[in-house]
Structure 1
Amino acid sequence: MEAAPSGTASFFVICYKMIANDKKMPYFVHNILESVANLR
């Protein structure tokens, strides 16, 4: 496991990586997670 800045940040990083690896995931979900990641 990688070192994470915080619990919440690590959660979004994990979700982001899972979605990035799943090409079938809707693109808008990818955008939402990216927006949330930029806000933290």
Structure 2
Amino acid sequence: MLRFAGLGVAMDNAPDEVKLAADIVTLSNDEDGLKVVLEKYCY
């Protein structure tokens, strides 16, 4: 699914196989990783 998304994003605390399939790895969910990605790619 990450490969077909256009921009696959994994959280830092995701399993290694998920992070390997992603285009970018952001901070963990405890460190507001989603916020970081949204601010970078959606503004």
Per the normalisation by structure 1, the TM-score is: 0.32
Which structure is higher in RCO with an 8 Å CA cutoff and minimum separation 6?
A: 1
Higher strand share: 2
